[in-house]
Amino acid sequence: MTTDFWFACIGAVLIAMALFTFIRHTHLLRRILAFNIMGSGVFLILVGLAQHQRQTDPVPQALVLTGIVVAVAATALALIIFRRFYQLSGRTELDEDQQ
């Protein structure tokens, strides 16, 4: 097993864990955390799989760099809307997600 392959597998497990959390939890911040880890899992697969038994590949690395920046933009946007929502409503979950 190569290093690249091993971390691609770790990425797959991370995605599954994050998805499970996303389905199960309704707290909006918890879901943002799940997104970020899910994204990291995807990035690990993108780089690890492309480099597995091949040479080091700058293209997926550049794509992941783009992906990280896009992820931080989305996270920041989600946090800003969430905090405004919390200010107005005092809630940390969307209304319809209540049990």
Span 40-79, contacts to other proteins by CB under 8 A: 40, 42-52, 54-79
Binding positions for other proteins, 10-29, rule CB under 8 A: 10, 12-29
Q: How far is the CB of 88 from other proteins (least distance, A)?
A: 5
Nearest to 68 by CA among 48, 44, 99, 52: 44
Exposure string of 20-52, with b = 16+ CB inside 10 Å and e = fewer, is ebbeeeeebeebbebbbbbbbbbbbbbbbbbbe
Q: How far is the CB of 81 from other proteins (least distance, A)?
A: 5
- How many residues bind other proteins, per CB under 8 A? 93
How far, in whole angstroms, is CA 88 from its chain's centroid? Answer: 27
Q: What is the DSSP letter of 54?
A: S
Q: How far is the CB of 2 from other proteins (least distance, A)?
A: 9
Contact between 52 and 36 (Cβ < 8 Å): no
Q: How far is the CB of 43 from other proteins (least distance, A)?
A: 8
